[in-house]
Structure 1
Amino acid sequence: MPNLLAKKPLSALLSEAKQEGEQTLERVLGPFSLTALGVGAVIGAGIFVLSGLGAHYAGPGLMLSFILSGLGCAFAGLCYAEFAAMIPLAGSAYTYAYATLGELFAWIIGWDLTLEYAMGASTVSSGWSNHFIEFLRIFGLKMPLWLAYDHWTGLRAATDIVARQFVSATNPALLPGSQEFLLKLDAVKNAQTPELLSHAHQLLNAPHLFGVEIGVNIPAFIIALIITTILVIGIKESAKFNAGIVMLKVSVVLFVLGLGSHYVNRANWGTDWHSYAPNGFAGIGLAAGYIFFSYIGFDAVSTTAQEAKNPQRDLPIGIIASLTICTLLYIGVAAVLTGMVPWREVNIEAPIARAFLDKDLGWASNIITVGALAGLTSVMLVMLLGQSRVLYAMANDGLLPRSFFASIHPKFRTPWKSTILAGLLAAIVGSVTPIDDIGKMVNIGTLLAFVIVCIAVVVLRRTNPDQPRPFKTPGIYLGGLLPVVPILGILFNGYMMYKLGWINWARLIIWLIIGLVVYFFYSVKHSKVQAMPAAMTTGRPMVKGVAARE
């Protein structure tokens, strides 16, 4: 019988981290590149898109929602930093779980990270497409709806266009975008009359395949393939490309803060708690659960551990610095957005760009659209980078076919086969699937990973207390008894998981069941750890100084 809780010895992990050669990843990333990867992964959909949805849940309290999400990530990020410095291997939370909780938990978290990275990239590619379509409109160009969206999203877009035309024609005195206009628009769309649907299908004008309307998000498909090509060519080239994009999008965010601050009306923030948080703390918590997607990706920095020049020093810097920078920018943008526009009137699809359009600043809105495109591009790059590295680590352990997933390109020194597979998966899913449901699945999967890392750092402190730790998570114990930071990480991230609702819990459970089928039918039979002597995989404390001598 296999030992499902067999742990991968730290001595084996540290030995792998020291390996060099043509079949290993190239160490070229410094602290600036790692921080840029973190910022590149984080600033994107959340700040340019999801802030609108969050405002409708939290009101001006959206600022607190970003703080709540940021704190959950900060507590988990400190735990990630300790692991990343101690075990500088690709694989992130998967590798950390293998060393502390055992193989079954490692497989669960590795499978779960696929939900975060590959599906996250799919979600972002769809969001990128929406902003690309807006970018084309600057030049007066339009794409057919059935080529610009997946079928369901394209039909919704067509329905929205027809409904807007109807409301404008029957209520010419209403200002488009006003609250009254939006209420009438919702009433028309919710009615779903046969006439409305008929006109929407005519506007969509989609071809049929076997009698069924089809729609393919071509921009989402193409951008995913372009990013995949860049990642295959090399990590150094990918890091340079990402750094350039990060500088552009951070400049756009600072532009939003600088210009937007001149149009802030403090009355929009409210005068008391009820007006500041119209749905109470429950609304702030719900918004935090949804906008948590804004922070997804900082943990991808740890997946590049085998490509960092000095991982023990630079990985904690990259993780903590990127989280700090992004949280401050998020809070500032939330303050400007809810100060420029009353929270009930914040646009959901493109909240920041629309806020500037409402102030007759069309040129500024165009700049923001370019920044959003840049932001979403770098998010996709880092997510696909993280996915391929997790698959690489799992394959090296025998849990996935090594000949495919751990294959290193002889020239580019990248895991090219797994990168191409992850890119194709993101391209296909992003081009035919609606963005909303995938995004919620990504959130709950990532939150689960954060909770497990917070647990694992405490476990390893007890099972291997003498293991050298170049970076130590502060506040692990209060008075030698209570692991404060990990417990706060578990509570904050667990609360946000709870707020996402039972439907997303059901989706997560189904996804994990599929993963367990793969594990028991393939992975457990090919696992390298299962083939080790039992005494090596029990996770007993190491003799003091052994790891240091090795």
Structure 2
Amino acid sequence: MSNPTGSGPKISTEKAETTDKQLRKALNVFDIAYLVIGAVIGSGWLFGSFYAASVSGPAAILSWTIAGIFLIFVALSFAELGGMIPKSGAIVRYPQYSHGSFASYIFAWAYLLGAITVPPVEAEAVVTYMSSYVPGLVTSTGVLTLTGGLIAFAFLTFFFLLNYFGVHVMGKTNTGVGWWKLIIPILTIALLLGLFFHPTNFTALPGGFTPYGWAPVFLAIPTTGIAFAYLGFRQGIEYGGEAKNPQRDLPWGTIIGFVICMAIYILLQVSFIGAIDWSKLSLKPGDWADLTSTALSSGPFYQIMKISGIPILMAFAIILLIDAMVSPSGTGWIYTGTSARTFYGMAADGHLPDWFLHLNRWKVPKWATIAAWLVGALFLIPYPAWVYLATFISSTTVTTYIITGASVVVLRRTAPNAPRPFKLPVAYLMGALAFIFAFLIPYWAGFTTYWGVFALILAGLPFFYMYTAANRFGIRRLNAAVLGIIYWIILGLSTWFLIYQDIIVPYNAASASGTALTFSMKYFTPFIIYWVLMLIVTVIFTYIIRMWANEEGKRHISSGWWAVAMLFSVLILDFVGPFSVWKSPPLPFPWDTVTAAIIALALFFWSVYSGILTKDLEIVLKEMGVIKEEK
């Protein structure tokens, strides 16, 4: 069922090495740091503190702190990889170097789903804040109207144009705007702490510091915009091929930018909680969950300052209206470039056509940037509200970070002589912690979010069969297409009937009445059938592709089985844990998190053991001069 070994076109990595050299080298360490700051301080600072407080009350401060500590291990891992092999679209290219095409495709597809949705979510944030003074843009539940959607699309178009005309234009513009994005949140913190602070909000209200218990402290990380806000730390790495001195600037720009942003977000949460005046919101003191039904939902910090009655705060609220357009827009145009470089990186890995590698006259990936604009706009339709998209993005994007810790350890073995200007200390331990923490965040997103993320990631596998495997591993495209279509049919029907109709619909009905489902075989049976069915189908279909593949394809697929196990592990843990649909989950907190960490550690060891020296890595190392060409 396969073509002769070695047949097919030139490896895409070789073609990408040519275009990589043509990218404009225009970014310095400050530009990299401000790419991080500009991406992290976007709509997250405008809405994240509000939604986090509504879920976990004053303990949201811990949510931001825990998420920051967790992600800094991932950021440090990326810092080593970024300094070692600086590439544009790097996030989706590192798995290709350490584990081959199968694992890299799974993570690249998941990352694309997350990255492509950030520009629309930032456009939605701008429009939502605009609704504070322009009626008719959003509904009472925060969903965009037709007019609001058209304005959001106009912002997306602006993000696209700024990127299309050169990284030097976008980079320098972003560095200038970055000063604004630092100053305004810092002034907000100072004004609220100094002029409108209520210490009793932290411990003296009903429920105290943790009014809803400890589980919501972790649930808030992926579902309220916290993880979404922090995810911007990798933006400097994504532009690695366009840095002047990437080995030095990428790691340090990333670390400096992230630490600054983490401190700002924690202080913003403290100031927001302290600034809540319950009497002005007509809420019972300590009723954190009902904050979402108040005027704060359209513009949290703006509304707090507006209703404070303090002249200086009321005047500063006008500045926040301006910032509500500047901060999300800055993040939006950064992520438009990130999405374009994700398309570029997937083409470099051989997962997309080579024309995504083509550059325009300003040395920007031409068709990749156009695709980022148009595909991103499609997400305004199914997710016309900020918090829905933020949760989706956090879950899909953090899922892709799981491989980072493993890649660091594998590349220490397969490329020991590669330059590492920033070298992670105790790499095995730090890599394991990065892996575990990245595994926990999509798990904490909860079953009602992850079931959709899981299905969408699996929906990408037929594209791997039909495109990557056919082009690189000699699979006959017709055979792969038949398998892929059958896979889509099974996935679609089983997800709709066994998960959505049998579990999600009853859960939504129960939630509408303020309750949850009682754990029973009525709901457990369809889930187990679904989980076992999709596991069997995924393994068998992928194994058939492996049987048809050439020797390189067999190695690549064997190196990626752990990634499939990771996806299915998160799904079953989510179903039985406290972040699911149950009144009383069979695996309660904190034992669920302990179990998840143990499973993640086992997957880490499997992923490290599975790492291989790929042709793609050899090509890159030869280009860098690490491996000498044979004469």
- Give the one of 352, 360, 364 matched to 1:400: 352
User: Closer, same or farther in 2 for the Cα pair 1:491/1:407, shift >3 Å?
Assistant: same
User: 1:193-204 residue pairs with structure 2 within 5 A?
Assistant: none
Return 225-234 or 513-522, whichever deviates more. Answer: 513-522
Contact 2:142/2:297 (8 A) holds in 1: no
User: 1:249-288 residue pairs with structure 2 within 5 A?
Assistant: 249-262=181-194, 263-270=196-203, 275-288=208-221
Whole-angstrom distance in 1 between the partners of 2:372 and 2:402: 25
Contact 1:52/1:350 (8 A) holds in 2: no
Shift of 1:91: 2.0
Match of 1:503 in 2: 448
Report SS of the residue matched to 1:336.
Answer: helix
Whole-angstrom distance in 2 between the partners of 1:2 and 1:464: 31
Shift of 1:520: 0.9
Shift of 1:486: 2.0
Whole-angstrom distance in 1 between the partners of 2:197 and 2:127: 30
User: Closer, same or farther in 2 for the Cα pair 1:223/1:86, shift >3 Å?
Assistant: same
Match of 2:241 in 1: 306
User: 1:100-115 residue pairs with structure 2 within 5 A?
Assistant: 100-115=98-113
User: 1:57-456 residue pairs with structure 2 within 5 A?
Assistant: 57-134=55-132, 137=133, 142=134, 145=136, 148-149=137-138, 154=139, 156=141, 217-262=149-194, 263-270=196-203, 275-290=208-223, 291-341=226-276, 344=287, 346=291, 347-360=296-309, 361-403=313-355, 405-409=356-360, 411-430=361-380, 433-435=383-385, 436-456=387-407
Whole-angstrom distance in 1 between the partners of 2:114 and 2:344: 16
Contact 1:50/1:348 (8 A) holds in 2: no
Contact 1:408/1:415 (8 A) holds in 2: yes
Contact 2:93/2:348 (8 A) holds in 1: no
Report the aligned-residue RMSD.
3.2
Percent pairwise identity: 25
Contact 1:353/1:368 (8 A) holds in 2: yes
Match of 2:626 in 1: 547
Shift of 1:425: 2.1
Report SS of the residue matched to 1:83.
Answer: helix
Deviation sequence 1:84-121 (CA, Å, 0-9, x none) = 11111122221110011111111111111111211122
Amino acid at match of 2:407: A
Amino acid at match of 1:504: T
Report SS of the residue matched to 2:88.
Answer: coil
Whole-angstrom distance in 2 between the partners of 1:392 and 1:113: 13
User: Closer, same or farther in 2 for the Cα pair 1:229/1:2, shift >3 Å?
Assistant: farther
Report SS of the residue matched to 1:547.
Answer: coil
Report SS of the residue matched to 1:88.
Answer: coil
User: Closer, same or farther in 2 for the Cα pair 1:392/1:12, shift >3 Å?
Assistant: closer
Report SS of the residue matched to 2:317.
Answer: helix
Amino acid at match of 1:324: V
Amino acid at match of 1:525: A
Deviation sequence 1:266-311 (CA, Å, 0-9, x none) = 2222159951122232121111222211112221221111101111
**TM-score scaled to structure 2, two decimals?**
0.68
Contact 1:17/1:87 (8 A) holds in 2: no
Matched, 1:461 2:412: yes
Whole-angstrom distance in 1 between the partners of 2:235 and 2:121: 16
Report SS of the residue matched to 1:295.
Answer: helix
How many residues are matched?
468
Deviation sequence 1:100-153 (CA, Å, 0-9, x none) = 11111111111111112111222221111112333xx2xxxx35x3xx24xxxx
Contact 1:61/1:276 (8 A) holds in 2: yes
Report SS of the residue matched to 2:436.
Answer: helix
Shift of 1:394: 1.8
Deviation sequence 1:302-343 (CA, Å, 0-9, x none) = 111110111111000121111101000001111111111166
Contact 1:397/1:528 (8 A) holds in 2: no
User: Closer, same or farther in 2 for the Cα pair 1:14/1:78, shift >3 Å?
Assistant: farther
Whole-angstrom distance in 1 between the partners of 2:287 and 2:326: 28
User: Closer, same or farther in 2 for the Cα pair 1:246/1:272, shift >3 Å?
Assistant: same
Whole-angstrom distance in 2 between the partners of 1:394 and 1:20: 13
**TM-score scaled to structure 1, two decimals?**
0.78
Shift of 1:69: 1.2
Contact 2:12/2:350 (8 A) holds in 1: no
Return 102-111 or 451-460, whichever deviates more. Answer: 451-460
Report SS of the residue matched to 1:276.
Answer: coil
Shift of 1:459: 2.1
Whole-angstrom distance in 2 between the partners of 1:281 and 1:2: 54
Structure showing greater relative contact order (alpha-carbon pairs closer than 8 Å, 6 or more residues apart): 1
Shift of 1:260: 0.9
User: Closer, same or farther in 2 for the Cα pair 1:392/1:532, shift >3 Å?
Assistant: farther
Shift of 1:19: 6.7
Amino acid at match of 1:252: I
Match of 1:470 in 2: 421
Shift of 1:17: 5.7
Contact 2:142/2:298 (8 A) holds in 1: no
Deviation sequence 1:523-542 (CA, Å, 0-9, x none) = 22223999998499852898
Deviation sequence 1:165-192 (CA, Å, 0-9, x none) = xxxxxxxxxxxxxxxxxxxxxxxxxxxx
Contact 2:19/2:359 (8 A) holds in 1: no
Return 239-248 or 528-537, whichever deviates more. Answer: 528-537
Match of 1:171 in 2: none
Note the residue ranges of structure 1 that are not aligned, 5 or more in a row. 159-203, 207-213, 477-482
